[in-house]
Amino acid sequence: MAFFKQTFDNLSATRNRTHQGDAVLLLIAGTLILIGLVVLFSASSAVSFIKFGNSYAIFRHQMEGFILGLFAFAFFSKINYQIWQKSAVMLLFISIFMLLLVFIPGLRADWGTSRSWISVFGFSVQPSEFVKLSFLLYLSAWLVKRKDKLSGMSEGFGPFMFILGIIVFLMLLQPDFGTLSIIAATSMIIYYIGGGKLKHILAVGLIALVGIFGMVQVKEYQKNRFKCLIDP
């Protein structure tokens, strides 16, 4: 872990000197997106042909989202990061409010056993995707302000776990375990890189593993997903 921490510090120093974007991070993100598109096309072509009579229908829809994402990336990358830093708390509260909307029957769009979508004017939106971005923005801004206090419990790990706990609780009620796992794991890594204690992260990770095991045993559909992951 110390290696990753040192690598992160070196990349940050290089970026600060050159006033440029993080080329390594961009390369990693681009590679993951490319792999994801290839895997999606391979996995969805047969289903796409059966449902839509076109092997490329699902893939084309994903490509449209990818192209829109590129335009959004180009636009938002031009915004001064300090604006995001100042808006982080407001964006997080808005996202948490959106998480609460999924429990309102008139707005909720149920998909199977999950209640993680809301429907507004005919459009379906997943609030947890906004939380994924807003919480990481908030966490990054918060770490900058408290970088010298992260090793403590009352001003470091405690407040961090309080906010994360609210998000975890609301997403468990939906439930949306996939996005929740991404948010929890990413935030823990960022917290550690920002200066948090590894023993705190490991303790929470151990508790989370016990909780995941318990949920898999209780929820039959979760148990089936876990079995598919182990033995496709």
Report pTM.
Answer: 0.68
> Could you tell me if 152 and 226 lie in one domain?
yes
The answer to whether 59 touches 48, Cβ cutoff 8 Å, is yes
The answer to whether 101 touches 107, Cβ cutoff 8 Å, is yes
> Could you tell me if 124 and 184 lie in one domain?
yes
> Could you tell me if 115 and 179 lie in one domain?
yes
For residue 164, give the nearest of 147, 141, 185, 145 by alpha carbon.
Answer: 185
> Could you tell me if 70 and 119 lie in one domain?
no
> Could you tell me if 173 and 60 lie in one domain?
no
- 120 SS3 class: strand
Six-digit token string for 56:
């490329």
Half-sphere exposure of residue 206, counting CA atoms within 13 Å on the CB side?
6
> Could you tell me if 39 and 134 lie in one domain?
no
Sheet holding 114-120, edge to edge: 108-111, 114-120, 123-125
d(CA 116, CA 221) in angstroms, rounded, equals 16
Q: What is the pLDDT along the chain (232 residues), one digit of tens a residue?
A: 554 455 545 545 544 444 566 778 888 888 988 898 888 888 888 888 888 888 888 888 888 888 888 898 888 878 887 888 888 889 989 988 988 888 877 666 665 556 677 777 666 778 888 888 888 889 888 888 877 777 777 777 888 888 888 888 888 887 777 788 888 888 888 888 888 788 888 888 888 777 777 666 656 655 666 565 555 5
